[in-house]
Amino acid sequence: MFDDFSKRSKAVQAALNLAKERRWSDIGLTDIARAADLSLADLRREFTCKTDILRAFQAELDAETLARAKPAGEAQSRRDRLFDIVMTRFEAMQPYKPALKRIASSLCCRPGEAAPLLCSSLASQYWMLEAAGAKLDGPGGALRVAGLAAIYGQVFRVWLDDDTPSLDKTMAALDKRLGKGERMLSGIETACGDLCRLACGLMPRGWSREAKQDAPPGPAPAASP
């Protein structure tokens, strides 16, 4: 998943390797630079802080997930397509589970340190929805991204403790929450559509024509020479 020759990849891998054995809060940038065989100056050229290293891991994971995703079948629904893509992401994260477990445990007690990861986490949901063929324009798109982020966060916690070889617990949790989210989103979209139709029905007929008639007259056209 990583390019072993770039300084950026070496630093991300070194940080994850250290996190397997130590608490994330106890790992300093100097430790990461030393483990990656980089100078502190080299590390600063690539990252601004430890959280930035986690954002780089998220971006690399996004690319790996999209690369591994299989083409959608003709009869496959968007929900099933999204299920496959999210599970592909969890499978790609499997080698890093011990490190991610320690990192998640540390960040849950430090909301200030975790907050900068929100934008990159939402970007990850956006790309997975895009790969699934979901509609992402307008308010509905933002609602889908936020909804998937909430689902992903819940299933991620299940995945951290899932020791089954085929990730059965993770698949069951994801399937259940995607179904619930789909029904909820459908209800919201139906309610919004009904509200729009109600608003249109309350408008007086011919209001646009009356508005034009009541509008002040414009300047008279200039006389032709």
How far lies 124's CA from each of 65, 79, 215, in Å? 10, 17, 50
Residue type, 178: L
159 CB contacts (<8 Å, ≥6 apart)?
90, 93, 97, 167, 169, 170
Dihedral sign for Cα 183, 186, 192, 194, please: negative
Give the right CATH number for 7-196 from 3.40.50.1980, 3.40.50.300, 1.10.150.80, 1.10.357.10. 1.10.357.10
pLDDT at 83: 95
Going by the DSSP 8-state scheme, the letter that residue 24 receives in this structure is: G
pLDDT by residue for the chain (225 residues), tens only, comes to: 776 679 999 999 999 999 999 999 999 999 999 999 999 999 999 999 999 999 999 999 999 999 998 877 777 888 899 999 999 999 999 999 999 999 999 998 888 888 889 999 999 999 999 999 988 888 788 889 999 999 999 999 999 999 999 999 999 999 999 988 777 665 555 544 544 555 555 655 554 555 455 555 555 545 443
CA atoms of 128 and 178, how far apart (whole Å): 13
pLDDT at 180: 87
